[in-house]
Chain A
Amino acid sequence: MRIVIAEDDPLLREGLALLLRAEDLDVVATAGTPGEFLVAVDEHAPDVAIVDVRMPPTHTDEGIVAAVEARRRRPGLAVLVLSAYVEQAFATDLFSVGAVGLGYLLKERVGRVEEFLAALHRVAGGGSVIDPEVVAQLLARNRRTDTALSELSPREREVLGLMAEGLGNSAIAERLFVTDGAVHKHIRSIFSKLQLPPDDSADRRVTAVLRYLDGDRR
């Protein structure tokens, strides 16, 4: 797996590279600005890009803009966006072009190396990852305005959150300490309450959930 890192803070950039190289992953280039990042993408043809949201010059959403541009130049490039805080609008911008091979994580998740690596691999494999915090905020916002969502039981909401993170049935079962069968039942119930097509592939599920959660904005 060939990786490019775009992060303007030198210490964090080197820390990430060090972490990934120690795991025998191939970090082919690191960049400190959106411009450098796009050059590196053109030059090194990476499989995955890890991109910080806040980058120079204005430190607002340059990272998201660069990530979208990188995917336009190199279709199929997997992108894992790291953010210091949850900004729902950024997540929405990012996923507006489709959720295949895309992830949005809070920076602090990187410290949980196993989970971070799992997310990285999932994104590289064409899957989607959304930070639990983003999902929680989307749920909280939608619960106020949406009656269908308020019909979900607390357990079903939990399952929906884990689905949005891109976890499969057995992984969800493991997290919640229940059987696969119970998870399956919850998911069927969620899909029927939200009137979503009962499709079971992991990425389609994330896409479906996102699209549903974000429905009132389109």
Chain B
Amino acid sequence: MAYVRGRVRASVNAVEHLVGGLGTATLALGALLWSVIVAVACVGGVGLLAVPGALRVVRSVADRERARLSRWGDRIPTPGPVPDGLRTAVHDPFVRRELGWVGLYSLIGVVAGLVGVALPLYAVQDATFPLWYRLVPPDAAPGIVWWRVDGLADALWVGVLGVGWLAAAIWFSPALARLQAWPGRWLLPPPPGVDLSLRVAELTATRAAALDAHAVELRRIERSLHDGTQNRLVAVNVLLGAARRAVRRNPDRADEILGQAQDAAEQALGELRTVVRGILPPVLDDRGLAGALAGLAGSCAVPCRLEVDVAVRCAASVEATAYFVVAEALTNVVRHSGASRVDVAVRREHGRLLVSIEDDGHGDADETRGSGLTGIRRRVEAYDGRMTLTSPPGGPTRMDVELPCGS
């Protein structure tokens, strides 16, 4: 049963990919036609002026496909804009591969996409046909059915055919989706050698982001020390001053004031603990990521279900980031979501740490409001990770974070 459910889920995902792929494939077809027109015009000489424009069109379509494939599997870095000059543009290693891709993908992508979309449609149409066969004339059976349908028995055969389509859709969709993605997976990644320089550019950018995230982090710590702990201690000081004055005049009152001072001191300790825990949680060292997250989940005001499946430990900085992400996300859930439960799942897969937090609150979380989500994104991207947030109005809100394990 679980096997069937897995197959069905895989094929639903595959159909989703096929539909997306059909979109980029249609664009690729357009880009191909334009390129051919420009190439023909070049024979007469007039087309040369239009070559850079055509290359840019191809690049932008290819970038869409790169983004689509990156969302789905291994990341494909984007090479940036096409070089300006005609000569350099033609010699650009990406451009040649992209031109090959546009030709291949216009065919394979469109065909695979159409078949992938048509299969489930036929399945639904034919499987339900016995319910509505009376509504159409006998010789106008729908879809790929060439025989005359007279009466229920014939209609039922069409229904059986629909079930066959369904089986085919479930069976073949994942393979079709892989086939559709193949030209991009083959030709769109940077050729060997070029990859490194791209990687360097990307690392430079993420390093800057890391420094930035670091500064934000310091700012946050400074703020919480100043506005929390220090103010508490000032209050303790003020109350102690008042108590000393009261001792001389009104000893009963002094005791009351000393009580308040002690409360303030306890609050200061509590806040200091929170700040320190936010810097690098000592519990990570003691109990590992699973134990530390269990502590977070246990102290969360919204009931929290936690699933951790991390057999091998990750680098300390990655674990600290994951811990920070969950802590920050749970704070958001408690403060803003109005949720009644929240699920946290952490697992390690192919050298990446995958963290997801989902609540049943009212959704509509906006990254541009408030710095909590921005903070999470920055910290995650600083580690070369990825963060996606889906939060439609009305909920639910789901955050997915992916971090390279670094070990």
Interface of A toward B, CB cutoff 8 Å: 9, 11-12, 15-16, 18-19, 22-23, 54, 59, 84-85, 107-108, 110-113, 116
Roughly how many angstroms separate A15 CA and B231 CA in the complex, as a whole number? 11
- Which of B233-241, B303-311, B344-352, B378-386 sits within the interface? B233-241
Provided the pairs A9-B235, A11-B235 are in contact, do residues A111 and B230 lie with their beta carbons within 8 angstroms?
Answer: no
Q: Which of A11, A84, A113 has the most CB of B within 10 A?
A: A11
Q: Taking the nearest CB of chain A, how far is it from the CB of B145, in angstroms?
A: 68
Interface of B toward A, CB cutoff 8 Å: 223, 226-227, 230-232, 234-235, 237-242, 244-246, 253, 257, 260, 264, 267
Q: Taking the nearest CB of chain A, how far is it from the CB of B94, in angstroms?
A: 46
Q: Is the CB of A11 within 8 A of B242?
A: no
Roughly how many angstroms separate A28 CA and B257 CA in the complex, as a whole number? 21
For A108, the chain B residues whose CB sits under 8 A away are 234, 237
Q: Is the CB of A11 within 8 A of B237?
A: no
Contact of B227 among A15, A18, A59 (CB under 8 A): A59
Q: Taking the nearest CB of chain B, how far is it from the CB of A130, in angstroms?
A: 19
3 A-B pairs with the lowest CB-CB distances in the bound complex, closest first: A111-B237, A19-B242, A113-B241
Closest to B244 in A: A113
- The number of inter-chain residue pairs (CB within 8 angstroms) is 63
Provided the pairs A110-B238, A113-B242, A116-B241 are in contact, do residues A11 and B267 lie with their beta carbons within 8 angstroms?
Answer: yes
Roughly how many angstroms separate A15 CA and B260 CA in the complex, as a whole number? 9
Closest to A21 in B: B242
Q: Is the CB of B231 within 8 A of A111?
A: no
For A23, the chain B residues whose CB sits under 8 A away are 245
For B242, the chain A residues whose CB sits under 8 A away are 15, 18-19, 22, 113
Q: Taking the nearest CB of chain B, how far is it from the CB of A6, in angstroms?
A: 14
Closest to A18 in B: B242
Roughly how many angstroms separate A108 CA and B230 CA in the complex, as a whole number? 10
Q: Taking the nearest CB of chain A, how far is it from the CB of B232, in angstroms?
A: 7
Contact of A84 among B226, B241, B245, B260 (CB under 8 A): B226
Summarize A's interface: helix, strand, loop or mixed: helix
Contact of A111 among B240, B253, B264 (CB under 8 A): B240
Q: Is the CB of B257 within 8 A of A12?
A: no
Q: Which of B226, B232, B235, B240 has the most CB of A within 10 A?
A: B235
Q: Is the CB of B234 within 8 A of A110?
A: yes
Roughly how many angstroms separate A59 CA and B220 CA in the complex, as a whole number? 12
For A85, the chain B residues whose CB sits under 8 A away are 226
Q: Which of B227, B231, B237, B239 has the most CB of A within 10 A?
A: B231
Q: Is the CB of A84 within 8 A of B231?
A: yes
For B235, the chain A residues whose CB sits under 8 A away are 9, 11-12, 15
Closest to B256 in A: A18
Q: Is the CB of B257 within 8 A of A84?
A: no
Q: Is the CB of A19 within 8 A of B232?
A: no
Q: Which of B238, B244, B246, B253 has the most CB of A within 10 A?
A: B238
Contact of A9 among B227, B241, B260 (CB under 8 A): B227
Roughly how many angstroms separate A54 CA and B253 CA in the complex, as a whole number? 31
Closest to B249 in A: A22
Q: Is the CB of A11 within 8 A of B231?
A: yes
Q: Is the CB of A84 within 8 A of B264?
A: no
For B260, the chain A residues whose CB sits under 8 A away are 15, 18
Roughly how many angstroms separate A112 CA and B237 CA in the complex, as a whole number? 8
20 CB contacts below 8 A, A to B, read: A12-B231, A12-B235, A12-B238, A15-B238, A15-B260, A15-B264, A18-B239, A19-B242, A19-B245, A22-B242, A22-B246, A22-B253, A59-B227, A84-B226, A84-B231, A107-B231, A110-B234, A111-B241, A113-B241, A116-B241
